Structure 1
Amino acid sequence: MPSSPLAEDTIAAIATPQGRGAVALLRVSGPDARQVLRRIAPGVDDVQPRAQRLVALRHPETGELLDRGLVTYFAAPASYTGEDTLEIATHGGVLTPQLVLDALLAAGARAAQPGEFTRRAYLNGKLDLLQAEAVADVIDGRSRALHRAAVHQMERGLSRRVSELRDAVIGTEALIAYSIDFPEEDEPPVPPARIVGSAAEVIGRIKALLATAPEGELLRDGALTVLAGRPNSGKSSLFNALLGTERAIVTDIPGTTRDAVEASASIDGYPFRLVDTAGLRETADRVEGIGIEVARRYLSAADLVLFCIESGRAVDHDERAFMADVDPARLVVVRTLADRHPGESANADPSGIPTVTLSATTGEGMTELRRVLLAKAFGGILGEPGEAPLVTRERHARALRSARDELASFLDAMDDAVPMEFAATHLRAAVDALEELVGVVSVDDVLDRVFGTFCVGK
């Protein structure tokens, strides 16, 4: 954890969303927090830690009464930021909290930057960087699966796993140091095979953690799932059925969907971004043609493609050609409109592409489709317990890949009979990558990216 002197200034911000509501919360953090309170609450000489007090809040320059609010004081270091901190609960709405914030700024506080409270918590050793990112995911997350992963990460689940990996690499370094300390021995006290085995074991553990990255990263934004097919193939009906609401216009007129329609959906707590696209066909209609071009762009970026083909007819040449151009790992064939062709069943495509027969009208086959979607998008983490650490950001995966590659380079160097003291530089680089991941080594541009995504009051 980085060591940082306590901040010299005191910051303030509204911590709740603007708008009509019963209560708003303002936060103040820094060495002058209590002095700022005395200036907006004349007559309040002191406040006891972790005890609420009802006070009259006034503007320090005009004396105007702004509100009566509940103040809670958290003394350093036993606070979220590690500094003296105040939480002031006022009446909600747009105007009252803003007037109280203006009073706090007039009393000597500075307006907080996005994420500055959590950044101070990190710099003061209250959180590591992985925990800080988890705070943002708890706030921004829109799926139960991401919420579970973020809460576990806030409780240091991923941090502990990374710390264990770091300790294991350092342990391998220690084995080398022990061997180097006995150069006069014919038989080193630590056999090289043990050192190599130690490094290889860490690589295996890093690979296992990295295996969660593809699905873990999808938890944050949702799996981009594009519905494609000919006009009138049942795409829009299926889109609405997956959403549980009528978002797309459904008619029997070919070409009704002229543009992509996107919406978020949750399937068993896992997030999906559904996109209903224009029917794929040759057309002279310029507007429809633009819609088809948009559909192709979505298809190129899709995590999953639901290719809709009406039940009761054979798959034509153009449809087979389309499916041949899509990565089978991303493709699900959906035989739609099953209510019009009762008794038809779908078997898996000989190429291994899953095929589901369904009716968006009756609901037949929808449970099976949801099962297939979950397995395709999140199959690697579906069986994981809620407290299992997951890699949910590209920053995490990049650092782990760097550590893995450095360890692999170390093994290559050992195979090439490079002296251990030189080969060990790769071990030190692997430790550095893992330390940067949790924030033991603070890199300013990394911190700016992490905390710049936070809301102001956090």
Structure 2
Amino acid sequence: MSVSPLSDDTIAAIATPAGRGAVALLRVSGPDALVVLRRIAPGIGDVQPRTQRLAALRHPQSGELLDRGLVTYFAAPASYTGEDMLEIATHGGVLTPQLVLDALLAAGARAAGPGEFTRRAYLNGKLDLLQAEAVADLIDGRSRALHRAAVHQMERGLSRRVSELRDAIIGTEALIAYSIDFPEEDEPPVPPARIVASATDVIARIDTLLATAPEGELLREGALTVLAGRPNSGKSSLFNALLGTERAIVTDIPGTTRDAVEASVSIDGYPFRLVDTAGLRETMDRVEGIGIEVARRYLAAADLVLFCIELGREVDADEASFMASVDAARLIVVRTKSDRQPDAAADADESATLTATVSATTGAGIPELRRALLSKAFGGILGEPGEAPLVTRERHARALRAARDELAAFLAAMDDGVPMEFAATHLRAAVGALEDLVGVVSVDDVLDRVFGTFCVGK
């Protein structure tokens, strides 16, 4: 679906989730918004912008009374979409909002597609593309950290940073243009070293922003944290202790967990996806074997691995081999059941890996483990203030990397003695990558990917 700015059609949608509730909200946007309204509310009278009116809502063909609702009119361009727009509050539930939507469609509106209201807001200059994505994060976000990042992005925090980078590159282009304007001079008015320093500075600023990408992207999905270990090593008990509720079955019988159990948890406002997996061992049990294979797939994709070994038990060769196979940046060795071995200590050969000692029964060591998880997954952004811009999507990182690569290519060309006017084509490409990021120039397939993930009505 492609929508152009200042569309000549009018769209409508239910903007609140279906289900039993006190109030539902419907939205209408487009040049005929008031025409559509008068067809379903013929007795509404004079409608003033930003003033609520109680109206009898009727089907335009049958005249059947559907509900009495509150109507708010927002005149273009002072609306979310930049077009004439209505918000109609009706009684909640499943049937009433749908009947009112049917009436709006019968009155001449078209059913909106996913994200079409926000897409129109973007196309009409009310939001840039980064702000539009932040709207989706505000809706979908399940952690305080992502909420803070999305609010800051909605307030153009990341957009301003990208705009500053773009302006800095254009400034470097201007220095080159100024030098080219004086070809007769023995010494150019702008020393090449100044131009190189300007481009180098922009690269450093892009690198600073890109450094937030790994943790920033985890804010959206949650850090996949997989609990692994031999059967009966305390994985399920630890899973429940971190989660704060009994989701996994805990027994002394090896092989109890035969499939992966996944749950989301927030630690100090940062999102984690905890996965309790089947105990790793050789088995002839077909069902348990399937669970172990599932565990290995989770482990391959994990952002963090909590490898559980009972405190006081010597690490065997298979466990040592497993720990050696996992990147230390992803691994935390958890010595479990410390309440049973209060005087025991972790093996010295674990010193190269972060080790935590816990008891799921008493809670000892759990706060320290939570802090270790935070440091491992989000250490790069934990100290950032709430208003610091973060790169939270792969699209953002890809565009920033493209801009950085073009700047690096410019510096390489300068170093090779390529004339500045030819080397500067890389600067123009870097500007283009940043413009794509904020949506200064965007093709329809990019917009379809961005807004296709939105809910209908937003």
In the alignment, the residues of structure 1 paired with residue 211 and residue 413 of structure 2 have an alpha-carbon distance, to the nearest angstrom, of 26
Are residues 348 and 102 of structure 1, via their aligned partners in 2, closer, same or farther at CA, if it must alter by over 3 Å? Answer: farther
Q: Which residue of 2 aligns with 1:453?
A: 453
User: TM (normalized to structure 2)?
Assistant: 0.98
In the alignment, the residues of structure 2 paired with residue 242 and residue 205 of structure 1 have an alpha-carbon distance, to the nearest angstrom, of 37
One-letter amino acid of the counterpart of residue 270, structure 1: Y
Equivalent pair of 2:307/2:333 in contact (CA under 8 Å): yes
Q: Which residue of 2 aligns with 1:247?
A: 247
One-letter amino acid of the counterpart of residue 32, structure 2: D
Equivalent pair of 1:283/1:289 in contact (CA under 8 Å): yes
Q: Which residue of 2 aligns with 1:410?
A: 410
Q: Which residue of 2 aligns with 1:279?
A: 279
Q: Which residue of 2 aligns with 1:398?
A: 398
Superimposed CA distance per residue, residues 332-368 of structure 1 (whole angstroms, 9 cap, x where no aligned partner):
0000000101133448865531000000010000011
In the alignment, the residues of structure 2 paired with residue 42 and residue 5 of structure 1 have an alpha-carbon distance, to the nearest angstrom, of 30
Q: Which residue of 1 aligns with 2:329?
A: 329
Instruction: Quote the sequence identity (%).
Output: 87
Q: Is 1:44 matched with 2:44? A: yes
Q: Which residue of 2 aligns with 1:173?
A: 173
In the alignment, the residues of structure 2 paired with residue 104 and residue 452 of structure 1 have an alpha-carbon distance, to the nearest angstrom, of 23
In the alignment, the residues of structure 2 paired with residue 342 and residue 424 of structure 1 have an alpha-carbon distance, to the nearest angstrom, of 67
Query: 5+ unaligned residues in a row in structure 1: which ranges?
Result: none
Equivalent pair of 2:43/2:55 in contact (CA under 8 Å): no
In the alignment, the residues of structure 1 paired with residue 339 and residue 143 of structure 2 have an alpha-carbon distance, to the nearest angstrom, of 32
Task: Give the secondary-structure state (helix, strand or coil) at the position aligned to 2:344.
Answer: coil
Q: Which residue of 2 aligns with 1:116?
A: 116
Q: What aligned pairs does 1:273-312 form with structure 2 within 5 A after superposition?
A: 273-312=273-312
In the alignment, the residues of structure 2 paired with residue 382 and residue 115 of structure 1 have an alpha-carbon distance, to the nearest angstrom, of 32
In the alignment, the residues of structure 2 paired with residue 93 and residue 30 of structure 1 have an alpha-carbon distance, to the nearest angstrom, of 26
One-letter amino acid of the counterpart of residue 293, structure 2: E
One-letter amino acid of the counterpart of residue 382, structure 2: L
In the alignment, the residues of structure 2 paired with residue 290 and residue 419 of structure 1 have an alpha-carbon distance, to the nearest angstrom, of 62
Q: Is 1:89 matched with 2:96? A: no
Aligned-pair distance for 1:58?
0.3
One-letter amino acid of the counterpart of residue 335, structure 1: R
Equivalent pair of 1:406/1:430 in contact (CA under 8 Å): yes
One-letter amino acid of the counterpart of residue 281, structure 1: R
Superimposed CA distance per residue, residues 106-159 of structure 1 (whole angstroms, 9 cap, x where no aligned partner):
000000000000000000000000000000000000000000000000000000
In the alignment, the residues of structure 2 paired with residue 171 and residue 125 of structure 1 have an alpha-carbon distance, to the nearest angstrom, of 25
Are residues 289 and 210 of structure 1, via their aligned partners in 2, closer, same or farther at CA, if it must alter by over 3 Å? Answer: same
Equivalent pair of 1:217/1:391 in contact (CA under 8 Å): yes
Superimposed CA distance per residue, residues 347-403 of structure 1 (whole angstroms, 9 cap, x where no aligned partner):
886553100000001000001100100000000000000110000000000000000
Aligned-pair distance for 1:223?
0.4
Equivalent pair of 1:229/1:235 in contact (CA under 8 Å): yes
Equivalent pair of 1:349/1:355 in contact (CA under 8 Å): no
Q: Is 1:315 matched with 2:315? A: yes
Q: Is 1:56 matched with 2:56? A: yes
In the alignment, the residues of structure 2 paired with residue 38 and residue 132 of structure 1 have an alpha-carbon distance, to the nearest angstrom, of 31
Equivalent pair of 1:347/1:355 in contact (CA under 8 Å): no
Equivalent pair of 1:24/1:97 in contact (CA under 8 Å): yes
Number of aligned residues: 456
Task: Give the secondary-structure state (helix, strand or coil) at the position aligned to 1:328.
Answer: coil
In the alignment, the residues of structure 2 paired with residue 301 and residue 208 of structure 1 have an alpha-carbon distance, to the nearest angstrom, of 26
CA RMSD of aligned residues (A): 1.1
Equivalent pair of 2:278/2:292 in contact (CA under 8 Å): yes
One-letter amino acid of the counterpart of residue 148, structure 1: R
Q: Which residue of 1 aligns with 2:377?
A: 377
Query: 5+ unaligned residues in a row in structure 2: which ranges?
Result: none
Task: Give the secondary-structure state (helix, strand or coil) at the position aligned to 2:329.
Answer: helix
Q: Which residue of 2 aligns with 1:162?
A: 162
In the alignment, the residues of structure 2 paired with residue 352 and residue 430 of structure 1 have an alpha-carbon distance, to the nearest angstrom, of 42
Q: Which residue of 2 aligns with 1:226?
A: 226
Equivalent pair of 1:34/1:46 in contact (CA under 8 Å): no
In the alignment, the residues of structure 1 paired with residue 379 and residue 433 of structure 2 have an alpha-carbon distance, to the nearest angstrom, of 28
Task: Give the secondary-structure state (helix, strand or coil) at the position aligned to 1:174.
Answer: helix
Q: Is 1:147 matched with 2:144? A: no
In the alignment, the residues of structure 2 paired with residue 358 and residue 169 of structure 1 have an alpha-carbon distance, to the nearest angstrom, of 52
Q: Which residue of 1 aligns with 2:420?
A: 420
